[in-house]
Amino acid sequence: MKLNHLHLILSIGAAMLMATISLNAAEQRHGVEAAKKQAKLLIPHPELEATLFASEPMLVNPANMDIDAEGRVWVTEGVNYRQFKPWGRIQPKGDRIRILEDTNGDGKADIAKTFYQGNDVNAALGICVLGTKIIVSCSPKILLFTDENGDDKADGPPKILFNGIGGVDHDHGAHAFVFGPDGKLYFNIGNDGRRLKTPDGKNFIVDKAGNEVDGRGTPYRQGLVFRCNLDSSEVETLGFNFRNNYEVTVDSFGTIWQSDNDDDGNRGVRINYVMEFGNYGYTDELTGRGWRTKRTNQEKDIPSRHWHQNDPGVIPNLLQTGQGSPTGIAIYEGKLLPNIFQGQIMHCDAGPRIVRAYPVKRSGAGYTGETVNMLQSKDPWYRPSDVCTAPDGSVFISDWHDGVVGGHHMTDHKPGQMTGRIYRLTPKGKSKTYKIEKNRTASSMLSSPNMSERYIAWQQFHKVGSQAEETLLKMWGSDDQRIRARAIHLLARIEGIEKKYINKALNDNNPDIRITGIRIARERGLDMIPFIKKMVNDTDSGVRRECAIALRHNKSPQAPALWAQLAKKHNGQDRWYLEALGLALDKQQEKFFGAWLEAVGNNWDTPSGRDIIWRSRSSKTSNLLVEILLNKKTKESEKSRYIRALDFQSGPEKDAALIKLISAGS
């Protein structure tokens, strides 16, 4: 395959295929009839059915896709992939953005149009369709196309939203944008992308935290994930230190999910819940060195060592899925597919040729997950590159379709032989027709599982403000918690009554809705102290996690005592909660940690207290770590953990503590 990450994850059969392939064999794989035959090799989940929606010559090499509010599939092609290879630029006019449409509702595309073609979209790794706006991610630029007259052609040259992103003609650069329930855009860049610059490419973007967006350790490292307004203003850096976080997805509560790819062949592909502002541990926070560099308290297994999971200040992984080449990801928020998939992550992994779902459950302040296979294939050329949900709740999967993945290679690089497929997943035994309702209301569109529909509805509701209150209140009364979350996001943005609806969310029985309320208040820039006072004793640790994150950089004189209250509720077993507390310490270590020490007094030496000391970096931390190390209650097996924590301390207090430790051992 041509798409992904320097991986050489070939099965023996696929490797032999690549080595022995001939022109005749390539021809046998190409064309509509070949696509139909190979589609019979698909292996869907027992409750699902997979059908071929489109194939070459309608499209080739689908790198990324989106589905618009009318159910049409938009695809970025990657013919001009790896132009530094011997095949060079295969398509002189540049790659295409294609629109595939099923006009008769039989579940198969019958029209294909070219929206745009140009060398500025060669092998573009992201497309996001938002009404008349189309955002295309293609390093070094993020491009905004428009189609105001609805002729399915770009109105003209694109506007540049961001520039200067690395990873040109590479998979570790700019990836797709998605629309969030808060009316903002979310996107990410892999570790070769590294930076985000102004449209002219001259200056670094400065994010809301006041930092230049530069993933070279100032303060960010490696791959990054962002949020911004629809006009690309007010960029926030939401997470850093990923390797190749290929795509981001956001659910209706505002929870962010990603996959990330390991260094090749180390069985460390991971799925992350992105706790906002966190460090995700691909390289050493202090030195920027890779995971192979030996360190104290080093993890026993390579997949965990790969992500510095034992280091204080690293957010834990949700799941590690082994060897692979992860690509597209999405949240399924529809009702058409069986219950096991509803509200869950869907994820493509081109290496092992599989699309999986990851049903998650709340666990403390974080989550646990499992894996459920959605779509595999016996075809060694099956390489799923993206997954999206259509307005009717069916799921579409793009298949780059190639005999190899990794090594910057592609098997079918000869014009006329290239392939590409789109498949559609529906419930087994049910109608495979594909028809989109024509007379839709804003309410029905906001209730849709399709992101593009929700965008249009969000804009309509937000524009009319208080006139939408009655309709949104009806949605707030739904039994579907995700629809309720979408409604409260808009209700809490009606001018003059924001706090009324934020408090409704905070008083709700569902903790995910309470979490949503805290996030809305923070995003709206409101004074968080009254809200945190109200929620600081919430019974749900996920709600308290959001309170801790909301205290980050809060300068109120009441903030330290509130943080101390939250810290006292740490049970000594929840790493997610501990890291949320740690995020809140940023730039206010002395005030917050000091307030906790004052609150606990001499009773700091407990499992939860030791955790908080291990995660903190105040001037008082080093001495407390040494006290733990010298305490006879501390087991030998535990000491390396606290010794490693000393690496993250600094200043004369650390020097004095080390002298104390050395002296005690002499």
Q: How large is the average pLDDT for residues 359-373?
A: 97
Who wins on pLDDT, 371 or 406? 371
Residue 408 has a pLDDT of 85
Q: Determine the Cα–Cα distance for residues 255 and 260; give it in Å rounded to an integer.
A: 17
**What value does the mean pLDDT take over residues 386-405?**
96
CA pair distance 113, 133, nearest whole angstrom: 17
Residues 281 and 314: beta-carbon distance below 8 Å: yes
**pLDDT the model gives residue 7:** 36
Q: Concatenated DSSP letters for 523-589?
A: HTT---HHHHHHHTT-S-HHHHHHHHHHTTT---TTHHHHHHHHHHT--SS-HHHHHHHHHHTTT-H
Which value, to the nearest 10 degrees, does the dihedral of the CA atoms of residues 487, 492, 494, 499 take?
150
d(CA 289, CA 43): 41
Taking each helix axis from N to C end, the angle separating 451-464 and 481-491, rounded to the nearest 10 degrees, works out to: 40
Between vectors from CA 258 to CA 420 and to CA 241, what angle results, nearest 5°?
Answer: 115
**Confidence check: pLDDT of 448 > 70:** yes
| Apex 419 CA angle, 417 and 423, nearest 5 | 160
Q: Which long-range contacts (CB under 8 A, 24 or more apart) does 357-365 make?
A: 357/332, 358/271, 358/318, 358/319, 360/273, 360/318, 362/511, 362/542, 363/576, 364/541, 364/542, 364/571, 364/573, 364/574, 364/576, 364/577, 365/541, 365/542, 365/544, 365/545, 365/574, 365/576, 365/577, 365/580
Alpha carbon 185 to its chain's center: 12
Q: What is the pTM of this model?
A: 0.95
Please, how many CA atoms are within 13 Å of residue 250, restricted to the half-sphere of its CB? 27
* Main-chain phi, psi angles of 603, to 5 degrees: -95, 30
Q: What are the tens digits of pLDDT across the range 79-95? A: 999 999 999 999 999 99
Mean pLDDT lowest for which of 106-110, 185-189, 468-472, 662-666? 662-666
Q: In what order do the strands lie in the sheet with 372-377?
A: 42-44, 372-377, 354-358, 344-349, 326-332
Q: Is residue 368 over pLDDT 50?
A: yes
* Residue 217: pLDDT band with limits 50, 70, 90: confident
Q: Average pLDDT in the 155-180 region?
A: 97
User: Up-side HSE of residue 364: CA atoms within 13 Å toward CB?
Assistant: 16
pLDDT at residue number 666: 61
Q: Kindly report, residue by residue over 539-560, the tens digit of the pLDDT.
A: 999 999 999 999 999 999 999 9
User: Quick one: pLDDT at residue 13?
Assistant: 37
pLDDT value at 656 more than 70: yes
> Which residues, 6 or more positions from 623, have their beta carbon under 8 angstroms from its beta carbon?
653, 656, 657, 660
Query: What pLDDT digit, counting tens, does each position of 475-522 carry?
Result: 999 999 999 999 999 999 999 999 999 999 999 999 999 999 999 999
The mean predicted confidence, pLDDT, of the chain is 94
Across 277-303, average pLDDT: 96
Domains and CATH numbers, the chain: 12-280+315-427 (2.120.10.30), 437-524 (1.25.10)
Average pLDDT of the residues in 589-596: 98
User: Is the bond into 219 cis (omega within 30 degrees of 0)?
Assistant: yes
Q: Would you call 507 exposed, middle or buried from its count of C-beta atoms within 10 A (0-12, 13-18, 19+)?
A: exposed
Local structure of residue 316 (DSSP, 8 states): P
Backbone angles phi, psi at 521, to 5 degrees: -60, -40
Model confidence at 36, in pLDDT bands (50, 70, 90)?
very high
Instruction: Kindly state the DSSP code that residue 119 receives in the 8-state scheme.
Output: G
The answer to whether residue 599 scores a pLDDT higher than 50 is yes
CA distance 464 to 271: 38
Q: If DSSP states are collapsed to H, E and C, what string results for 35-65?
A: HHHHHCCEEECCCEEEEEEEECCCCCCEEEE
- Does residue 414 or residue 562 have the better pLDDT? 562
Task: Annotate 624-661 with three-state secondary structure.
Answer: HHHHHHHCCCCCHHHHHHHHHHHCCCCCHHHHHHHHHH
Q: Please write the tens of the pLDDT for every residue from 259-268.
A: 999 998 899 9
Closest CA to 246 of 185, 327, 169: 327
Q: Maximum CA pair distance of the chain?
A: 84
Cβ neighbours of residue 396 closer than 8 Å, sequence gap 6 or more? 53, 65, 67, 73, 387, 388, 389, 390, 422, 423, 424, 425
Question: Cβ–Cβ contacts within 10 Å for residue 627, how many?
Answer: 17
Indicate the SS3 state at residue 466: helix
Amino acid at 154: A
What are the structure tokens assigned to 250, written together? 């956001």
Residue 178 has pLDDT above 60, yes or no: yes
Distance between CA 138 and CA 159 in Å, rounded?
13
Which helix (H) or strand (E) covers residue 198, if one does?
none
